[in-house]
Amino acid sequence: MKHLLLFITSLFSICATMNATSPQQQIDSIMRQRYGTDAPGGAIMILKEDSVIFENYYGIADMTTGERISEKTRFNIASISKQFTVVGALRLVDEGKITLDTPIAPYFPKYIAPFWDKIKLWHLMSHTSGLPDTRDRSNRNACIYANDAVSMSYFPSVTTLRFTPGECYDYKNPTFILITNIIEQLENMQFIDYQQQHIFSPIGMMSTSYFNPNFTPAHTAHGYINTQTSEASSTDNDTAGKTIEIKDKKSIWQEYDYGEETFFATRPDGGIYSTIRDLHLWEKALKEHKIISEEMLNTAYTPHITVTGSTWSSYQNRPNTSYGLGWFIDTTPGYPTKVYHTGDNGGFQAYLGKFPQKDVTVIILENRNDNDRWSLVKTIDEILLNAGIL
């Protein structure tokens, strides 16, 4: 009986200590355990309304120079880039230059298959076009250096759709390059210049840019894989570029971004490099409707297709999930609706999620891919919920 009472007393003591620990302390502890100190790591920011309630940086941005991850570190945000492409086009919808229901066929007169008349702008934005991704992947070296033009060169050879546009979710990257071509035709300027002029510069995203194979800005992180836990191989004869293996106390880290992994050079679907603080500015500009109208933003955040149970794509195919225009929507019971996107390329992982009803945003950027991202996100969401922040 004495031992039982002692156990119960100890249990209550542990629970009291946990309850006394702030959500910020809990999250910081989780992040420190996740990364350690002398390995690639990540950056995190949590916002409540217009206030930063947690911001911290962990690990190494460049294992060769030893530069640590900081507020200046530029990460590849991979598929989070898609929402920037969508917003660029939604600006033109706001201006009346195009509609979401506009068929895309007139913008691509060389694409002569009859099904092109059935594909509308919103189908491209919502992964519901039915277009397959039949890019030739037989030459890995070619895929590593493939740019936007190369990545969309297969479209004229497509003879059939996978399904009627608008009917199903099938996550596809190259279709976002079609969106940028439409923007370029409507604005008579290069997509990269358009985004800089109308999005990045006006809202002060001075550390954000699209990938440029000829220039690497200061404080750009490399992506890394842990060769002891990853299936990626540095002995692949078709892999071009340098291989850098650096040992820390527990792991061997191999650089794994442009030059080692495919499709880093395509920009509309995954080519943006940005910082935690620039993404804060992005979220603020969206919320304040500085780039697109409230109506357009609400349309983007509205489910357009169900992701859960899709037989065509496994990406983010989990319960209570839909896709809007450039964003996933999660309606997990017990939580407010979450609007989010993830990004994965090479050694980079990224997550940008928000709960509009509670005005809470979570941003996580990582330059390693050996830790499960969704488990981390779920844990942070639970901590925020239990703390009354959600």
Task: Write the DSSP symbol of residue 325.
Answer: S
**How far apart, in whole angstroms, are the C-alpha atoms of residue 274 and residue 71?**
10
**How far apart, in whole angstroms, are the C-alpha atoms of residue 76 and residue 84?**
14
Residue pair 41/30 in contact (Cβ under 8 Å)? The answer is no
pTM of the model: 0.90
pLDDT at residue 210 in the model: 98
Query: For residue 50, what pLDDT band results from cuts at 50, 70 and 90?
Result: confident
**How far apart, in whole angstroms, are the C-alpha atoms of residue 279 and residue 71?**
11
Q: What's the whole-number mean pLDDT along residues 20-24?
A: 87
Query: For residue 2, what pLDDT band results from cuts at 50, 70 and 90?
Result: very low
User: Range with the lowest mean pLDDT among 16-25, 141-150, 284-293?
Assistant: 16-25
Place of tokens 């780039």: 291
Q: What letter represents residue 316's amino acid?
A: Q
Query: For residue 292, what pLDDT band results from cuts at 50, 70 and 90?
Result: very high
**How far apart, in whole angstroms, are the C-alpha atoms of residue 123 and residue 377?**
28
pLDDT at residue 249 in the model: 52
pLDDT at residue 16 in the model: 38
- Residue 270: count of CB within 10 angstroms of its CB: 25
pLDDT over 90 (residue 76) = yes
Q: Which 3 state secondary structure label does DSSP give 37?
A: coil
pLDDT at residue 250 in the model: 64
pLDDT at residue 64 in the model: 95
pLDDT over 90 (residue 350) = yes
**How far apart, in whole angstroms, are the C-alpha atoms of residue 125 and residue 85?**
9
What is the chain's alpha carbon radius of gyration, rounded to the nearest angstrom? 22
- C-alpha distances out from residue 194 to 108, 130, 236, Å: 20, 28, 38
Place of tokens 């925020």: 384
- C-alpha distances out from residue 37 to 41, 64, 68, Å: 8, 15, 9
**How far apart, in whole angstroms, are the C-alpha atoms of residue 348 and residue 368?**
5
Burial (0-12, 13-18, 19+ Cβ within 10 Å), 145: middle
Of all residues in the chain, the percent with pLDDT exceeding 70 is 89
Query: For residue 20, what pLDDT band results from cuts at 50, 70 and 90?
Result: low
pLDDT at residue 227 in the model: 87
Q: Which domains does the chain have, with CATH numbers?
A: 21-59+68-386 (3.40.710.10)
Look up residue 330 and give its two tokens: 């999660």
**How far apart, in whole angstroms, are the C-alpha atoms of residue 315 and residue 117?**
27
Partners of 56 in the β-ladder: 44
- What is the end-to-end Cα distance of the chain in Å, rounded? 41
**How far apart, in whole angstroms, are the C-alpha atoms of residue 362 and residue 364?**
7
Q: What's the whole-number mean pLDDT along residues 327-348?
A: 98
